[in-house]
Amino acid sequence: MESITSLGEGLTPILALGAVPEAKEIEVWLKDDGTMPTGSFKARGMSVAVSRARELGVPRMYVPSAGNAGVALAAYAARAGLPARVYLPESTPAAMERACRAYGAEVVKGGSTIREAGASARRIEAGGGAFDLSTLREPYRAEGKKTMGFEIWEQMAPDGMPDAIVYPTGGGTGIVGMYRAFVQLQALGLLERLPRLYSVQPENCAPIVRAVRDGTSQATPWEAAKTVAPGLLVPAPFGSERILEAIRESRGGGTTVEDRAILEAVGHLARRHGISASPEGAAPYAALEILLHSGAVRPGERVLLYNTGSGIPFLSSL
């Protein structure tokens, strides 16, 4: 118990969005992880990972990040009294870099994508004894992300679970964590069927959606990747097999959205619903109309959108 490191994360609100003009035929809800202690869903995984690091006696930790994971590690490392180093690509929003430094983490910037930042991190950290918290390169962050699925069940099951969950996918720990939680709930007899999981990615960086459409078991790297959503700029997600397994076993799918639609969704969520969403977190809202018109989501279904982070760090750049 002494190793547990928490900032009060979890049990974020699920809000009814009512009739969304672009998809009036479906019942739309949104789970808002922008209200987490560090402003994003990354707090879930970092709480577990840092707690385990303390239990194992790890001397220090590092993570390559597009921003949110770095902020979360910096905060939870500070809470644990452990040193941390965050590797950020050059495109990281300035507010997130400042937050990492404010929590006391050392920041190393370099590369145009998280993949390049990660390669730099592993080169610099090789043999140094630090705990690598890169996405899906250790088991604990995904375990923490299972709380997303457990909370959805706890909050929605009494009135009806969502038929589909629409989730923005970069590194993929969120969708993997939710899937594992639902499988466990089903095995316990607490869940009749899995919600269908739909991955949303930007049209110019969509390795998971491409793999879903091509029917492959592993994603191939996306060349010349670019997007306004830095957390979705993951051209070669490590552990893509697990992400694709979650999507297919849940009978879900994937779709891409234009950057223009993502930015419009940020504005719509703010002005129509009073919700501050990051570009990543707004991507599911942008995908609603596409999923409905394609038949992936059917009239009368309950659909849950997942906002993974607050839009506040992006205000100066949107």
Q: pLDDT for 273-316, tens place per residue?
A: 999 999 999 999 999 999 999 999 999 999 999 999 999 988 87
Q: How many CB atoms lie within 10 A of CB 82?
A: 18
User: Percentage of residues in the chain with pLDDT exceeding 90?
Assistant: 84
Question: What per-residue confidence (pLDDT) applies to 123?
Answer: 92
Cβ atoms 167, 197 nearer than 8 A:
yes
Mean of pLDDT values over 175-184: 98
Question: What per-residue confidence (pLDDT) applies to 66?
Answer: 86
Q: Assess whether the region 14-40+139-314 and the region 42-132 belong to the same CATH fold.
A: yes
Mean of pLDDT values over 158-167: 97
Cβ atoms 168, 306 nearer than 8 A:
yes
Quickly name the fold that domain 42-132 has.
Answer: Rossmann fold (3.40.50)
User: Does the pLDDT of residue 1 top 80, yes or no?
Assistant: no
Distance separating alpha carbons of residues 166 and 144, to the nearest angstrom: 19
Q: Which of these ranges, 97-101, 119-123, 301-305, has the smallest mean pLDDT?
A: 119-123
3-state SS, the chain, equals: CCCCCCCCCCCCCEEEEEEECCEEEEEEEEEEHHHCCCCECHHHHHHHHHHHHHHHCCCCEEEECCCHHHHHHHHHHHHHCCCEEEEECCCCCHHHHHHHHHCCCEEEECCCCHHHHHHHHHHHHCCCCCEECCCCCCCHHHHHHHHHHHHHHHHHCCCCCCCEEEEECCCCHHHHHHHHHHHHHHHCCCCCCCCEEEEEEECCCCHHHHHHHHCCCCCCCCCCCCCCCHHHCCCCCCCHHHHHHHHHHCCCEEEEECHHHHHHHHHHHHHHHCCCCCHHHHHHHHHHHHHHHHCCCCCCCEEEEEECECCHHHCCCC
Question: What per-residue confidence (pLDDT) applies to 212?
Answer: 98
pLDDT (tens digit per residue) in 43-71? 999 999 999 999 999 999 999 998 999 99
149 token code pair:
């699925």
Give the residue from 249, 251, 252, 247 showing the smallest Cα distance to 237.
Answer: 247
Distance separating alpha carbons of residues 219 and 186, to the nearest angstrom: 28
129-155 per-residue burial string, b: 16 or more CB within 10 A, e: under 16? ebbebbbbebebbbbbbbbbbbbbbeb
Give the residue from 269, 276, 199 showing the smallest Cα distance to 36.
Answer: 276
Question: What per-residue confidence (pLDDT) applies to 158?
Answer: 93
User: Percentage of residues in the chain with pLDDT exceeding 70?
Assistant: 99
- Domain-by-domain residue ranges, the chain? 14-40+139-314, 42-132
User: Does the pLDDT of residue 4 top 90, yes or no?
Assistant: yes
Mean residue pLDDT across the chain: 94
Distance separating alpha carbons of residues 31 and 170, to the nearest angstrom: 18
42 token code pair:
């990354």
User: Does the pLDDT of residue 318 top 80, yes or no?
Assistant: no
pLDDT (tens digit per residue) in 217-234? 999 999 999 999 999 999
**CATH number for domain 14-40+139-314, candidates 3.40.50.720, 3.40.50.1100, 3.30.1280.10, 3.30.43.10:** 3.40.50.1100
User: Does the pLDDT of residue 193 top 80, yes or no?
Assistant: yes
Mean of pLDDT values over 106-128: 89
Distance separating alpha carbons of residues 132 and 263, to the nearest angstrom: 33
For residue 22, what pLDDT band results from cuts at 50, 70 and 90?
Answer: confident
Distance separating alpha carbons of residues 199 and 82, to the nearest angstrom: 34
User: Does the pLDDT of residue 30 top 70, yes or no?
Assistant: yes
pLDDT (tens digit per residue) in 233-273? 999 998 899 999 999 999 999 999 999 999 999 999 999 99
For residue 127, what pLDDT band results from cuts at 50, 70 and 90?
Answer: confident
135 token code pair:
């996405």
Question: What per-residue confidence (pLDDT) applies to 91?
Answer: 85
User: Does the pLDDT of residue 200 top 70, yes or no?
Assistant: yes
